[in-house]
Structure 1
Amino acid sequence: MPAPRTCVVIPARLNSTRLPGKMLLRETGRTLIEHTHAAALGARLPSAVVVATDHEDIAAEVRRFGGTAVMTREDHRSGADRVAEVARRTPGFDLFVNLQGDEPEIDPAAIDTVIEQLATDHSAEVATLAAPLRDPERLRDPANVKVVFDHSGRALYFSRSPIPFVRDALSASGPDEPALFHHHVGLYAYRREFLLRLSGLPQSPLERAENLEQLRFLQAGATIRVGVIPQAAAGIDTATDYAAFVRRSSRRTAA
């Protein structure tokens, strides 16, 4: 069977709540969206990489550095809905990867991993990633989404709360044992058919309660495959995050 043709879609909105205009920040000499696009190009398995945006300024920047930009509606509820619009307008691809534009340090190997998860599990409509979580502070932080999955790697639930709840502290995993807790890495691969059905899925009660779009998929009966990677890259949500990214970039350049 031939390998599935895969398109990486990078949703990139201009107006971010916590860091407006972050996609066009360029203190490193390159814009944030260019960094993320370059990382996506480093993956082996995708056939194409496109940026899905709602603003001409971002589209112009993508064209400037030689990328492909697709203009999409402004009123999408989530990144998955924006990727779904691209899927409807872009025939010829079997799988679509949703890579957030504020992930400039994503490991290209992680993109290949999420594609492989979906390509090898034909019963799954969606694939995503997780990383071991051992820091108690991050475990309690609702901004860090947690996931639990079964022995075959299929998601059972995602939550902003610490899951699983540990009734007996002695049952928690130690530093030399497999991790009990996992941080959800917000990188997704979808089958094209699932994306075409996505706009018809109503927002679910669990999705509204936790503000997590993947719970809409689970409540609709979709199977989500979860691949485990050693660690997650740091996304850029705030000015502090961006300043730290600039410092890391400077150190890499100096080295």
Structure 2
Amino acid sequence: MNKLKTAALIPARYNSTRFPAKALAKISGQAMIVRVYESVKACQLIDQVYVATDDQRIKKAVEKAGGQVIMTDAKHQSGTDRIAEAAAEIEADLIVNVQGDEPLIRAQDIAPALEVFAQRPELKMSTLKRKITAAEAENPDLVKVITDQNDYALYFSRSPIPYYRAETVKNKNYYQHIGLYVYRRDFLLKYAKMQQTELEKAESLEQLRALENGYQIKVIETNAKLIGVDRKEDIKLVEKELAARQN
């Protein structure tokens, strides 16, 4: 079987509502977007890595660090729309969508979501999950996912799922959805053109659009501890985790 040509796209915008200019925020002395780029570049299963942005300041920072950038429309409402525009400009079989605000992502975290495509020619999309505590599951900023017996997503929610009605259940399993996606390129281009769905709008979760249109999403479990940067105070948490990894 021929190797699937793979490109990673990292969407990054400057005008984040909760944390303006966060893509350029320094984490242990390095701009966050550059840190993410270098981590993705280290994955040997990925042939090309690009940052997809609409901002010249982000472009300059990435290129100064030796990275590649694809400029995209400033009017995009979502990261998926941004990477779909960029994906249309490149040749690849698979597109990896790595969020630009995930500075703890590592090459070994990405690989499992890619490897499943070699064995499953029918697969359109994959993502990751991580086991969390019941207390963590209460946080609406942590998206939860439940899967079927073959590890395909049944639903994603900001609410704790599943709901354990019987208090006698001892093993309550909750999983956080890790927002890294791998798509077949042709599916991504089709997916980005689909209309928003009702559940997607209710939860504000784009991946529900795929499920509501009848597409399967393979979910691979990881033990990777990732901390997405939504607010300035998250940077200290990330730097603490980076320091712990070095010890």
State TM-score, norm by structure 1. Answer: 0.92
Partner amino acid for 2:179?
A: G
Cα 1:83–1:27 change in 2 (3 A) is closer
Q: CA RMSD in A?
A: 1.6
TM-aligned CA deviation for residue 236 of structure 1: 1.1
Cα 1:217–1:172 change in 2 (3 A) is farther
Map 1:204-215; keep pairs closer than 5 Å.
204-215=197-208
Instruction: Indicate the larger mover: 188-197 or 226-235.
Output: 226-235
1:62-108 deviation line (CA, Å, top 9, x unaligned): 110000011001122221111111111112x0000000111111121
Map of 1:127 onto structure 2? 126
Cα 1:173–1:40 change in 2 (3 A) is same
Q: Supply the distance in 2 between the matched residues of 1:121 and 1:173 (Cα, whole angstroms).
A: 31
Q: Is the 8 A contact 2:109 2:224 kept in 1?
A: no
Indicate yes or no: 2:153 matched with 1:155: yes
In structure 2, list runs of 5 or more residues that go unmatched: none
Determine helix, strand or coil for the equivalent of 1:89: coil
1:98-152 deviation line (CA, Å, top 9, x unaligned): 0011111112111111111333222221100001122x22111111111011111
TM-aligned CA deviation for residue 44 of structure 1: 1.8
Indicate yes or no: 2:232 matched with 1:234: no
Determine helix, strand or coil for the equivalent of 1:226: strand
Partner amino acid for 1:171?
A: V
Q: Is the 8 A contact 2:101 2:228 kept in 1?
A: yes
Instruction: Indicate the larger mover: 192-201 or 56-65.
Output: 192-201
Map 1:30-69; keep pairs closer than 5 Å.
30-69=30-69
TM-aligned CA deviation for residue 38 of structure 1: 1.1
> 178, 190, 196: which one pairs with 2:189?
196
Identity of aligned residues (%): 38
Q: How many residues align?
A: 247
Map of 1:177 onto structure 2? none
Partner amino acid for 1:213?
A: E
Instruction: Indicate the larger mover: 23-32 or 6-15.
Output: 23-32
Q: Is the 8 A contact 1:148 1:155 kept in 2?
A: yes
Cα 1:192–1:140 change in 2 (3 A) is same
> 139, 154, 165: which one pairs with 2:137?
139
Q: Supply the distance in 2 between the matched residues of 1:121 and 1:165 (Cα, whole angstroms).
A: 32
Cα 1:71–1:98 change in 2 (3 A) is same
Cα 1:173–1:248 change in 2 (3 A) is closer
Q: Supply the distance in 1 between the matched residues of 2:99 and 2:219 (Cα, whole angstroms).
A: 18
TM-aligned CA deviation for residue 187 of structure 1: 0.3
Map of 1:243 onto structure 2? 236
1:137-170 deviation line (CA, Å, top 9, x unaligned): 2111111111011111111111111111111122
Determine helix, strand or coil for the equivalent of 1:132: strand
